[in-house]
Chain A
Amino acid sequence: MSQKEENSSFYEVWQRRTQHGDLLFGWLTLFFGLVVITLVFAIGYVVWSGSAEARDRFGFGFLFQTGWNPVKHNFGAMPAIYGTLVSSLIAVTLAGPLGILIAVFLSELCPLHLRNPLSFLIELLAAIPSVIYGMWGVFVFIPFFKSGIAKPLASTVGQWLPLFAGPVAAGRGVMVAGIILAIMILPTIAAIAREILAVVPNHQREALLAVGATRWEMIWYGVLPYSRAGIVGGIMLGLGRALGETMAALMVIGSAKSTIENSLFAPGITAAALIASELPNANDSLHESTLILIALVLFGITLILNILARLLVWQVSRGPVGTIRA
């Protein structure tokens, strides 16, 4: 057998190698990997070319203009961008710390028999369809929010802080949207943070316990620093989800498309909600093209957010000084 091997020509070896199918396998999977890349480019290209008319017409300044008048073809993306960013930031500010606390509770403190049921319940929040969040928000949460949160806040803090100023009126606004988005992204953040915490080696915890640390000290000095990068990534993912959320935001945000109000209790609009509510019935091509331009902006924001998240995670994960030695 060995003799035969020695005598076989390079061509035969090549032929046999390709017959193994590994080459084909490599190319095949590569192809499907490339399909995924293509999809991203396809999305980018379609929204880019679809928004050509609006881009030509409005140019870069579109991003910083207010006003939304389909009758007079006077459009500005600023209110939508503002509403998207602010509602998502509210969501992340609320859901970030909450999600991390939940994750820490589930992975570090929770009794074993409660751990699975509780984490399942939390994950259920992610499974509820967006429309239902919207309906619940309209019928249940807004009335409670208005009388229970917004009005007291507006009459106290709102007196000197314009961010919380009244009038609260219908209760619909950026704040409500932010809170509902927070509920929606909470499970995402909690689940990712929990996965990250599970990766923290047990010996890091024991190192702290062995010097007499309390549970919280163990978490604060040993567990959380170790999983910083992953948790930041999880929050980024949550933010991404909040940015793109459509139906729930649309149903509760109050759809004020043309102006930016100081107060968080005032109605606003998010980019995704704007597209969903106007694109289906945008009749003239400029209007349609403008909405596709908003889609482009939204896609661009998520793209940039992803790049940032990657850079951040990459940077943080390098830890303090020195590299990990095997």
Chain B
Amino acid sequence: MAKNEANSIHLQDLKPFYGSFQAVAPVNTTFASRAITAMIGPSGCGKSTVIRCINRLHENIPGARVEGKVLLGEQNLYGREMEPQAVRRRIGMVFQQPNPLRMLSIEQNVAIGLKLEGRPKKELAERVEASLRRAALWDEVKDKLRESSLALSGGQQQRLCIARTIALEPEVILLDEPCAALDPISTLKIEDLLLELKQQYTVVIVTHNMQQAARISDRTLVFMVDTSVARPRGLMVEEGETLQIFTAPQDLRTQDYISGRVG
């Protein structure tokens, strides 16, 4: 269980900024390991911003910065000696748009992270196969590993991106609306995959689809747009067990959102 603890993520007074604009009210929460935590809310509520703070991708946007702490186990990811790329290496991310590297083949796409680390060729091939199998993509692509990743369908591309992420054996997997651009069948496949991945990883998923959150997550965080301040910003209004959020929400805004009265 000690390992579990080490893989959980704690946000402490996390305040993402775009320039001088604070995009989200301070967030305090914990993402438990070996569980799927879902973040839901209408567009513009800051859930994507928060998830991008966890692997320090947020600061990649010009002018963006972060205040507060993100802890992985005991380690502050925004600590002074912490290198962003080392953080990202350990905390994998899957994006809304499937983003295979266009100029690389399927095989290279999966192997890229390991290749950067200078792992031997043999290990690469093994890991590629293992990751593709886990991502339930191996059977579909094993005959065309050297072809362009663009030859795959949208759903396959997204699973390829997941394979790329798990090939590095990260400790945490972040998913930013991974099914938004996919058809229902691909969505189901990916959801199945996530349920399997949570056996091992800390999984955080942002989704605009409440049903999806309800289906797969253990815990749910609800974000809303706080219009009470001069410049509307995101606000985490409620967090809790998924069942509780969807059946007995405590916050009025959550109730409205879940019943479809807003958004």
Chain A residues in contact with chain B, CB under 8 A?
111-112, 201, 203-214, 217, 221-222, 225-226, 228, 319-325
Contacts and interface: CB of A to CB of B under 8 A. Distances in A.
Given A225-B101, A319-B102, A322-B148, 9 more contacts: A203-B97, A206-B95, A209-B57, A209-B60, A210-B55, A221-B116, A225-B104, A319-B150, A324-B150
Interface string B176-196: 000000000000000000000
Given A211-B89, A211-B112, A217-B116, A323 B57 contact: no
Contacts of B63: 112
Interface in B102-148: 102-105, 112-113, 116-117, 146-148
Contacts of A322: 147-148, 150-151
B161 interface: yes
Contacts of B164: 207, 211
Interface of B: 55, 57, 60, 62-63, 84-90, 92-93, 95, 97, 99-105, 112-113, 116-117, 146-148, 150-154, 161, 164-165, 168
Contacts, number: 101
A112 B117 CA distance: 30
Contact of A212 (B62, B89, B161): B89
A325 B151 contact: yes
29 contacts: A112-B62, A112-B63, A201-B99, A203-B95, A203-B97, A204-B101, A207-B161, A207-B164, A209-B88, A210-B57, A210-B165, A211-B113, A212-B86, A212-B89, A212-B116, A212-B168, A214-B85, A217-B116, A221-B104, A225-B102, A319-B150, A320-B105, A320-B148, A321-B105, A321-B146, A321-B147, A322-B147, A322-B148, A324-B102
A156 B195 CA distance: 68
Q: Which of A112, A213, A225, A322 has the most CB of B within 10 A?
A: A322
B88 A211 contact: yes
Given A319-B148, A325-B153, A211 B103 contact: no
A222 B102 CA distance: 8
A204 B84 CA distance: 18
B150 A325 contact: yes
Contacts of A222: 101
Contacts of B152: 325
